[in-house]
Structure 1
Amino acid sequence: MRRRAKKKNVVLGVLVLVSVLYFFYPYEFLLMGLTRSAQSIPYQSSRHAERLLSKESWVEQGDYLPLNVTYQLLAGAPADQQKFLAVGLSSVKRKKGSYLIPTLQSLFSQSTPEERSSMVVVVLIADFDYSWISNTVREINSTFDSELQEGQLVVIHVAQDWYPPLTGLKRNYNDAPDRVTFRSKQNVDYSFLIHYSAGLGQYYLQLEDDVLSAQNFLTTIRKHVEEQNAKKGTWAMLEFSALGYIGKLYKTSDLPLLARFLLLFYQEMPCDWLMTHFRELLTQRQAILFKPSLFQHAGTFSSFQGTYNKLKDKDFEEGVYTNPSAEVYSNISTYQKHFPKLAWDAGEGFFWGRSPESGDHLTVVFLEPTLVTGILVETGSGGKDLLDSGQVELGQGVLNKDKKSCKTFQSLGAFINGKFEMHEVDKLHSSASSCLRILVTAAQKDWVIIQKIRITTK
């Protein structure tokens, strides 16, 4: 009897121990059934990535539409306090190299210390090749040690067992089965990523793992958000790139619903189509797209079968410019409200004028003399309305009478295929300038569009 009692107590003790271990380490038990254990993932692989639940969302508050998933923390840890911006991207193993590290480097290098302290970047390693995961996490740890320590970068993983079926799905749009699997898994990846990020920032920015960022993108986003919030009505999504699921901004209160929406319809259509439906369901009928774009697709080869991908955003400008204060004049007849100043100011506007004659001009008069170091002028749209013949000039001595031009001008060079670009202008023109002039040197029947005038200064 004592032996039986002792044996029973041992079995009971083991069961209690197993229950305790499972309660505190459920992910490790989950991975026991995989061909490669979590022990092959170094760097904090046994830690759980605790979620900061969004208090603003009625979905989270009432535990509606439960989304059960366990996250594993591979590197870093989110800060206790909510940031202004959470940036999310998922990454998988590609057949022809990875763009993840350059993407992260671009995000952090294009941000000031103050901007970095206002954001957290969440990377979901959405692959199940544990050797590749180990190498990727090792590289992230060695490259972004300070960002990980400061809570500005978090790397997470979700085991394959948490995913819904990814094969034998409906072949909507007559997509091939492997294509359906790819896009369906991507929807689930984004669902898990968004679900985890819901409490980390006031706003959430969706990116891909192969993009370049514009300088000070966070400050630009903050400015546009404040302007949009000051307007009447509401918004569900702001777009800072016209491409795919890049540069889409959401309020954190909408993320729990978005995560469940992507998971619910994961096999129906690609994520960039789903996000349009989601925006419309939240009663924002029209897209709100800001230009210039803040993010550019940089990958050459797609994550789907390594196919060549030449997708680029024509409205992307890597350096956020601030042209000096100036007045802009032109004697070319302006079409509607496409005024000359729009080519000079930041934003999506441009100057559009009717057929220019030889000697016509667009002149920028600086409010203060400026030492110009670089000039970029782009004309036309879609190969039409280019400036066929023209030159760029710098001027000195503002005319006292009308202050709309300068006394003298020096030519810097001619337009080539509707574009003028010059660096190190100060080596040829070392004194401060008061004007910049675009001079038409031959009449043309076509109208002319001056898309943008960008200068760099000392």
Structure 2
Amino acid sequence: MISVKKGRHCQRMKAELRRRYKPSLFQHIGMQSSLKGKVQKLKDKDFGKQMLHRAHVNPPAELKTSLKAYQKFKIQKAYIGEDIFWATSPVKGDFILITFTPPIELDGFLIRSGNTDHPSDKFYNSVADILPSIPLDKEYSSLFNKTDNGFYSVTDFDKNGLANVSLKEPIGKINSIRIRVLATSDFWVLISEVGLNCIFVE
């Protein structure tokens, strides 16, 4: 039996699947449209603006956070590059946890907080940790500060709100990446970019 849906239902379903990139990836140029009577807009309203978030193709992961998201700006959207993550002021002990199943090999990652519209909404007094799937050898564990539950602290967020990690040593597969807030902030926090550099083994 064929199910007939109303046009409104179809429009809603398409809107859920369609990704809207801002600023737009392509731009129409020219003074006239090929369609008679059509007014050709020369520029989309958001074209040419500085990007407020940056998209990366990241591996599947489970994301958890103690931070309270503002409206629709969820951490999952920032991870897949669909939108920013925006949350109310972090307090000491807040976290974001990115867990990979199965574990993955990385040679680095970056997490960028703040953007041009909200430059103050970034991570202050915060660190990025990793959880290797196998405990590190003494040779490598001395490079990082061991924290709790097998995690190692690999970098602080700098004054620009960026955590940029290069894992040059062969530390093996990683179960999780964690962001930890070490002190309560007076500002909200916004994540505009999450980029993982995966190692692909054939």
User: What interval of TM-score do these two structures reach, taking the shorter chain for normalisation?
Assistant: 0.5 to 0.7
For the structure 1 residues 370 and 330, does the alpha-carbon distance in structure 2 shift closer, same or farther, using more than 3 Å as the test? same
8 Å CA contact 1:394–1:409 kept in 2: the answer is: yes
2:128 is the alignment partner of 1:392:
yes
8 Å CA contact 1:391–1:438 kept in 2: the answer is: yes
Secondary structure in structure 2 of the residue aligned to 1:387? coil
Secondary structure in structure 2 of the residue aligned to 1:444? coil
Query: How much is the aligned-residue C-alpha RMSD, in angstroms?
Result: 3.7
Amino acid paired to 1:247: F
Structure 1 position 315, deviation (Å): 5.1
Structure 1 residues 308-345: Cα deviation after superposition (integer angstroms, max 9, x where no partner): xxx8843586xx73101001100112222222212211
Structure 1 position 378, deviation (Å): 0.8
Taking the aligned partners of 2:21 and 2:172, their CA distance within structure 1 comes to 41
State the partner residue of 1:373: 107
For the structure 1 residues 447 and 409, does the alpha-carbon distance in structure 2 shift closer, same or farther, using more than 3 Å as the test? same
Consecutive unaligned residues in structure 1, runs of 5 or more? 1-227, 233-237, 262-276, 281-286, 294-310, 399-405
Q: TM-score, normalised by structure 1?
A: 0.32
Report percent identity of matched pairs: 21
Taking the aligned partners of 1:241 and 1:378, their CA distance within structure 2 comes to 18
Taking the aligned partners of 1:451 and 1:389, their CA distance within structure 2 comes to 18
State the partner residue of 1:354: 88
After superposing on structure 2, the runs of 4+ consecutive aligned residues of structure 1 that deviate more than 3 Å are 238-242, 311-317
8 Å CA contact 1:241–1:248 kept in 2: the answer is: no
8 Å CA contact 2:114–2:192 kept in 1: the answer is: yes
Taking the aligned partners of 1:241 and 1:353, their CA distance within structure 2 comes to 22
State the partner residue of 1:258: 33
2:98 is the alignment partner of 1:364:
yes
- Structure showing the higher strand proportion among its residues: 2
> Which among 240, 243, 248 is matched to residue 27 of structure 2?
248
For the structure 1 residues 316 and 344, does the alpha-carbon distance in structure 2 shift closer, same or farther, using more than 3 Å as the test? closer
Please identify the structure whose Cα radius of gyration is greater.
Answer: 1
Taking the aligned partners of 1:351 and 1:359, their CA distance within structure 2 comes to 18
For the structure 1 residues 351 and 248, does the alpha-carbon distance in structure 2 shift closer, same or farther, using more than 3 Å as the test? same
> Which among 67, 77, 80 is matched to residue 342 of structure 1?
77
**Residue correspondence of structure 1 range 299-338 to structure 2 within 5 A:** 313-314=50-51, 321-338=56-73
2:154 is the alignment partner of 1:412:
yes
State the partner residue of 1:445: 186
State the partner residue of 2:171: 430
Secondary structure in structure 2 of the residue aligned to 1:420? strand
Amino acid paired to 2:195: R
8 Å CA contact 2:129–2:155 kept in 1: the answer is: yes
8 Å CA contact 2:32–2:40 kept in 1: the answer is: no
Secondary structure in structure 2 of the residue aligned to 1:430? coil
Q: TM-score, normalised by structure 2?
A: 0.67
Amino acid paired to 2:107: T
Taking the aligned partners of 1:392 and 1:325, their CA distance within structure 2 comes to 19
Structure 1 position 384, deviation (Å): 2.1
For the structure 1 residues 256 and 345, does the alpha-carbon distance in structure 2 shift closer, same or farther, using more than 3 Å as the test? same
8 Å CA contact 1:397–1:407 kept in 2: the answer is: no
Amino acid paired to 1:248: Q
8 Å CA contact 2:103–2:133 kept in 1: the answer is: no
Consecutive unaligned residues in structure 2, runs of 5 or more? 1-10, 135-147
Taking the aligned partners of 2:197 and 2:78, their CA distance within structure 1 comes to 15
Taking the aligned partners of 1:256 and 1:380, their CA distance within structure 2 comes to 37
For the structure 1 residues 436 and 288, does the alpha-carbon distance in structure 2 shift closer, same or farther, using more than 3 Å as the test? farther
State the partner residue of 1:115: none
Secondary structure in structure 1 of the residue aligned to 2:76? helix
Secondary structure in structure 2 of the residue aligned to 1:386? coil
Taking the aligned partners of 2:22 and 2:26, their CA distance within structure 1 comes to 5
Taking the aligned partners of 1:240 and 1:334, their CA distance within structure 2 comes to 21
Higher relative contact order (CA 8 A, sep 6+): 2
Structure 1 residues 88-124: Cα deviation after superposition (integer angstroms, max 9, x where no partner): xxxxxxxxxxxxxxxxxxxxxxxxxxxxxxxxxxxxx
Structure 1 position 239, deviation (Å): 7.5
Amino acid paired to 1:331: S
